[in-house]
């Protein structure tokens, strides 16, 4: 059974470069060739797909660090090592309610949301419309 349609995956090329993509019926243009992302629907995590030039890409389940690394970065991003300091000083953990002032890119909210799950909640506020989009 392959990856579910619409699910996000990491494609890892032979150089170690990562591509965060959705499993959908589209083509991905890379410098190693074209990838038919519909093939992901037939390949399990850990499997491989090939570009039209025969280059292999490993299909991986994305981790929190992949989302943080690949997310759009308009405002300043709180990196994982800095977010870990916030957690160390505040004691945030599973089930907690966290208020995040200044959503920005959402990186800290994403990090904290991963920590407080499954029953916790992160409420994030942003006054700048250009960051909130």
Q: How high is the pLDDT of residue 77?
A: 77
DSSP conformation class of 38: G
- Interval 1-26: pLDDT, tens: 678 999 999 999 999 999 999 999 99
Report the sign of the C-alpha dihedral through residues 88, 94, 97, 98, in that order: positive
Judged by phi (left if over 0) then psi (alpha if -120 to 50, else beta), residue 38 lies in alpha
- Interval 21-62: pLDDT, tens: 999 999 999 999 999 999 999 999 999 999 999 999 999 999
Torsion on CA atoms 9, 13, 18, 24, rounded to nearest 10: -30
- Interval 76-124: pLDDT, tens: 778 889 999 999 999 999 999 999 988 887 888 999 999 999 999 999 9
Q: How high is the pLDDT of residue 2?
A: 78
Q: Could you tell me the domains of the chain?
A: 8-60 (3.10.330.20), 64-132 (3.40.50.150)
DSSP conformation class of 33: E
Q: How high is the pLDDT of residue 75?
A: 66
């Amino acid at each position: 059974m392959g990856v579910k349609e619409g699910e996000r995956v990491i494609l890892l090329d032979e150089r170690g470069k990562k591509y965060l993509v959705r499993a959908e019926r589209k083509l991905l243009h890379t410098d190693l060739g074209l990838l038919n992302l519909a093939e992901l629907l037939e390949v399990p995590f850990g499997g491989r797909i090939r570009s039209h030039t025969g280059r292999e890409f490993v299909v991986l389940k994305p981790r929190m660090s992949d989302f943080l690394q690949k997310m759009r970065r308009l405002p300043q991003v709180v990196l994982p090592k800095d977010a870990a300091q916030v957690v160390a000083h505040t004691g945030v953990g599973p089930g907690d309610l966290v208020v995040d002032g200044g959503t920005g890119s959402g990186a800290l909210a994403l990090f904290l949301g991963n920590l407080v799950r499954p029953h916790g909640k992160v409420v994030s506020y942003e006054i700048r419309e250009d960051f909130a989009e």
